Structure 1
Amino acid sequence: MRRRAEAVERTRQRIVEAAVHLHGTAGPAATSIAAIAERAGVTRLTVYRHFPDETALFQACSGHWLSQQQLPSPEAWGAIGDPVERLTAGLADLYRFYRAGEQMLTLVSRDLHAAPDPVREAWEAGNRRYVAVLADVWPTAGGPTRRAVIGHAAAFSTWRSLCREQGLTDREAVVAMVTLVGAVGD
């Protein structure tokens, strides 16, 4: 019984790892169940036995990939009382995470429209949480405009534009965004 359970778990893990690999190389929208099954060395029926729907597979794939990352720590930023210091620490942490996970994050953000609703909603909720922690410490001057600029600064697409397309270092991008946010409402 135990050997059978271990074999089932190994098969499930191969499926998850195949999905992670394909999501990170082709993107979620271009990843089919047949391709996952082929890469995992199982049948499509086996994939469906382990993951009855796309949401379950996507969540397992995301959970596995995230477990291998050093995630941003909004709890740590939230302990910083000074708005500029909090924003600097938070953006540095986010930009570090973006750089480390760039390939996967690029493909997933590109294909987010194809993700199951619960996965897309979790991605969006995480982004809203980052913005809330970074924005809630600022004085009310600047209001919704400052919050929008903080949201822009915290976005993966902003990091990609500044660091990949414009050639800034992460540190230079943080300084530029902190300066921009600080100028709002002044």
Structure 2
Amino acid sequence: MAVEKATRTYRMSRRADAMEDTRRRLTEAIVRLHESIGPARTTIAGIAELAGVQRHTVYRYFPTEDDQIAACSAHFWADHPWPSLDSWAAVADPADRLARALRELYRFYADVEPMLVNCLRDAAEMPAVQRALASMGEFLDSAAKILSTGWAPERGRRKFLVAAVRHALAFGTWRSLVRDGGLSGTDAARLMSSFVEAAQN
């Protein structure tokens, strides 16, 4: 009986390992497709081919579009964590805080650009992608609050300062300066730091 129980336990463990390996391969395939062609162009057939499984296997693990996007989002952002808001908040001087934040954020944008470009493009037609991007909006809202504190804008200029900070944080701003304008990430961060500082006067 002990041998039979050990054998059954071993088989169950092997099966669980195989299922986990299949889930991992499927998730990695979804991430690669979302990053290369975007969620809207990703198909069950494409996922199955890239993961080396049959279509029905994809349906078994990720039966809905929401399931696929949730798995992709969890996996991708675990590998590409957003910069630390706490580390930014710990910098006392607002100008130094902003400069550090923009340098780190712009490096981050460079790392995740293909995924963000595709997801932002497809979000308009895919509510599941919109939901997955909600955390990005929350991050940028929190970042704007942290980076807008500690300044001493002239009377009536507070709204200009906040608007400038939000503009500096935007992914589209980084792309405009770096991809369209040909600036380095460091130079783009310096330019936006000067932009924000000028907005308070």
Q: CA deviation at 1:44?
A: 3.1
Unmatched runs of 5 consecutive residues or more in structure 1: none
Unmatched runs of 5 consecutive residues or more in structure 2: 1-11
Larger gyration radius, structure 1 or structure 2: 2
Counterparts of 1:45-84 in structure 2, within 5 Å, are 45-69=56-80, 71-84=82-95
User: Given the alignment of the two structures, is residue 144 of structure 1 paired with residue 155 of structure 2, yes or no?
Assistant: no
Which deviations, in whole Å up to 9, do the C-alpha atoms of 1:110-148 show, x marking residues without a partner? Answer: 223225143132222122222222223334642222212
Residue from 139, 157, 160 that aligns with 1:126: 139
1:21 and 1:68, CA in 2 relative to 1: closer, same or farther beyond 3 A? same
Q: CA deviation at 1:105?
A: 2.2
Q: d(CA) in 1 for partners of 2:134 and 2:112? A: 20
Residue 31 of structure 2: aligned partner:
20
Residue from 157, 171, 177 that aligns with 1:156: 171
Q: d(CA) in 2 for partners of 1:52 and 1:123? A: 25
Counterparts of 1:76-95 in structure 2, within 5 Å, are 76-95=87-106
Residue 118 of structure 2: aligned partner:
107
Q: d(CA) in 2 for partners of 1:44 and 1:129? A: 41
Which deviations, in whole Å up to 9, do the C-alpha atoms of 1:6-40 show, x marking residues without a partner? Answer: 11001100110000110111011211222212211
**How many matched pairs?**
186
| TM-score for both structures, normalised by structure 1 | 0.91
Which deviations, in whole Å up to 9, do the C-alpha atoms of 1:58-84 show, x marking residues without a partner? Answer: 121122122222531211111011111
Q: d(CA) in 2 for partners of 1:115 and 1:29? A: 11
1:78 and 1:59, CA in 2 relative to 1: closer, same or farther beyond 3 A? same
User: Given the alignment of the two structures, is residue 174 of structure 1 paired with residue 189 of structure 2, yes or no?
Assistant: yes
For the residue of structure 1 that corresponds to 2:133, the secondary structure is: helix
1:45 and 1:144, CA in 2 relative to 1: closer, same or farther beyond 3 A? farther
Q: d(CA) in 2 for partners of 1:51 and 1:123? A: 24
Which deviations, in whole Å up to 9, do the C-alpha atoms of 1:152-175 show, x marking residues without a partner? Answer: 101111111101110111111111
Q: d(CA) in 2 for partners of 1:137 and 1:123? A: 24
Across the aligned residues of Structure 1 and Structure 2, the Cα RMSD in angstroms comes to 1.8
Amino acid at match of 2:39: P
Q: d(CA) in 2 for partners of 1:25 and 1:44? A: 20
Residue identity over aligned pairs, in percent, reads: 41
Q: d(CA) in 1 for partners of 2:43 and 2:143? A: 32
